[in-house]
Structure 1
Amino acid sequence: MTIYDQRDPRFRALIHPNAQLHQIGEGFEWAEGPVWFPAAQMLLFSDIPAHRMMRWTAETGCSIFREDSGYSNGNTRDPQGRLVTCHHGLRAVTRTEHDGTLTTLASHAGGKRLNSPNDVVVRRDGSIWFTDPTYGILSDLEGYKATPEQPGSHVWRMGPEGGEARAVITDFTQPNGLCFSPDETLLYVAESGSSHDAAVPPVIRVFDVVGDSVANGRDFATIDAGLPDGIRCDDRGNIWSSAADGVHVFAPEGTLLGKILVPQVVSNLCFGGPRGNRLFITATTGLYMLAVDAAAA
């Protein structure tokens, strides 16, 4: 039976007490960046140090989707159903076209190479927002060790067809996962800088979306086990965050509703499945699935 840690009665409306946490894949080096493709009933995710992307379907289980992935990390879909990917190795954001070819959307800003794009979301207007911490250039494990060219680790925005990216948030130590509220008036961003500096608080911050930028940044929630990495928003505005002990679920006002305890450190998550009510969790060397009473925003 799945182990839950309920902190607020509202948590009961989001989970099934008797639902089983299924491990549906194992043996990865560091699983990350899950994204669900409804048309193909397929989950794609990254195995970063192994330099590959994986595929999961209910019929075939796990298989290799792409070798030589450029040390891919975060993935998402755009409004046209195309795969958008952050790459540590390429230090770029790419889009996989419907014919399988790759289009580079961003690799430089201000004439300098990006650090190592980490996670990405696409708004309904097609604009692409991504985080650019230095994790992929700190060593040769998840990319290629290099000296940063950017003055900091920023959150960037660019148009639907890429082009020059513009920094919209510049005061993070290591920005990581990000997501929009259901109405896209709020942008949530995970601060994972405590991975290398204990003085950095393990918080999720929230910003008001104002046109093509953001304002009024403030702390939304603090992770009390490990740090926030990948985050997702459900259709009711709750935030689901990765953590060292599982998945933490926060109400729209920031209250911790409860935790889904997972036996490995969680890196990321997404909603999917035939009815959209399956939670897919990438956790260190494993891939997990759980039925929930929530769906993607």
Structure 2
Amino acid sequence: MELVKITDLPFYTEGPVVDKQGDFYCTTLNGGLVLKVDSRNKPVEWARCACPNGQFILPDGDHLICDSELGAVLRFNAEGTLLRNEIEGFCADERIFTPNDLVVDSQGNLYFTDSVRHTGKVFFIGIGGEQKVLIADLDYPNGLVLSHDERYLYVAESYRNRIIKLKLKMPGLGKGSYEVFADLPVHVSGDQHKNLPDGLALSKNGELLVAHYGMQAVQMLSAKGVLEVSVESGMPLTSNLCFLTEDSLLVTGGYGEPGPGGLFKIYF
């Protein structure tokens, strides 16, 4: 694997996504900016909000973005204009504190994490407007991703240093309780802040890629949850990742919070 730096930025980065044209985007949390990066790797301001975090591009080109300060999921059009709040403050009659990351299935159903210690949740908003708490009492749920067949939801539970897996009977309905998909490597220092799995991505072959925040690494797990490889990310704080192509990843993070930050690519 080859690691290539794209750019340094003043702020720690998150929320990597790529659009149909091959342009990619990231968020800057405390920087309040969503950035678009062109083919020359030049980042430009695309949108602003209070504290943009996880991001997802819908088939029509709209972006859904978690705003961790507003306790909201925001919708922007393809030009970066704020259209509306998809949800703010409460979901399923439960308070939303720190929406972190999100994923939308092929039908348009939305799953998002609320990153809270000990009582964190995974929320669900269906295409018909129904709202549910899908999983409760997690210790800082973070990144999440659906399996390709959308029968399973994977969630990074940061402070338990593990990935959990929920079988879905149907969208928004778990089939039994979740299971532990993988316990992740522990940093030799024993400091739990050197662990903390963050963003997730799924390869075409079903391997799970984990941005392991404090481990300065991207780790690949087999379809059975076995660690296959660990790659240095180039940043002490490794926040998130997404596939740019079948054999390359965009990796976000930084050297501290609120900054500075950076963007890297990993080529397989």
Give your verdict on TM over 0.5: yes
CA-atom RMSD in angstroms: 2.0
Distance 1:98 1:279, change over 3 A: closer
Query: In the alignment, which of 156, 163, 168 is matched to residue 134 of structure 2?
Result: 168
1:148 alignment partner in structure 2: none
Query: In the alignment, which of 187, 208, 214 is matched to residue 239 of structure 1?
Result: 208
Unaligned runs of 5+ in 1: 1-15, 136-150, 195-200, 293-297
State percent identity of aligned pairs: 26
Find out whether 1:103 has 2:84 as its counterpart.
yes
TM-score, with length taken from structure 2: 0.86
Q: Which residue identity lines up with residue 139 of structure 2 in the other structure?
A: T
Query: In the alignment, which of 278, 282, 289 is matched to residue 252 of structure 2?
Result: 282
Decide which structure has greater strand share.
2
Please list the CA deviations of residues 213-272 of structure 1 after superposition, one character each: whole Å capped at 9, or x if unmatched. 123311111222412100111111110001122100000101100011123121000011
2:42 alignment partner in structure 1: 61
State how far apart, in whole Å, the 1-side matches of 2:78 and 2:230 are.
Answer: 37
Aligned residues: 247
Find out whether 1:261 has 2:241 as its counterpart.
no
Say if 1:55 and 1:65, in contact at 8 Å, map to a contact too. yes
State how far apart, in whole Å, the 1-side matches of 2:92 and 2:135 are.
Answer: 15
Say if 2:114 and 2:141, in contact at 8 Å, map to a contact too. yes
Distance 1:111 1:209, change over 3 A: closer
Say if 1:73 and 1:87, in contact at 8 Å, map to a contact too. yes
Query: In the alignment, which of 155, 162, 174 is matched to residue 203 of structure 1?
Result: 162
- Name the SS of the counterpart of 1:166 in structure 2: strand
Query: In the alignment, which of 18, 35, 42 is matched to residue 36 of structure 1?
Result: 18
Query: In the alignment, which of 239, 251, 265 is matched to residue 222 of structure 2?
Result: 251
State how far apart, in whole Å, the 1-side matches of 2:78 and 2:25 are.
Answer: 15
Distance 1:222 1:28, change over 3 A: farther
2:124 alignment partner in structure 1: 157
Distance 1:179 1:110, change over 3 A: closer
- 1:9-20 correspondence to structure 2 within 5 Å: 16=1, 19=2
Find out whether 1:223 has 2:194 as its counterpart.
no
- Name the SS of the counterpart of 1:266 in structure 2: strand
Q: Which residue identity lines up with residue 23 of structure 2 in the other structure?
A: M
Unaligned runs of 5+ in 2: 188-194, 255-260
Say if 1:106 and 1:165, in contact at 8 Å, map to a contact too. no
Query: In the alignment, which of 137, 143, 146 is matched to residue 180 of structure 1?
Result: 146
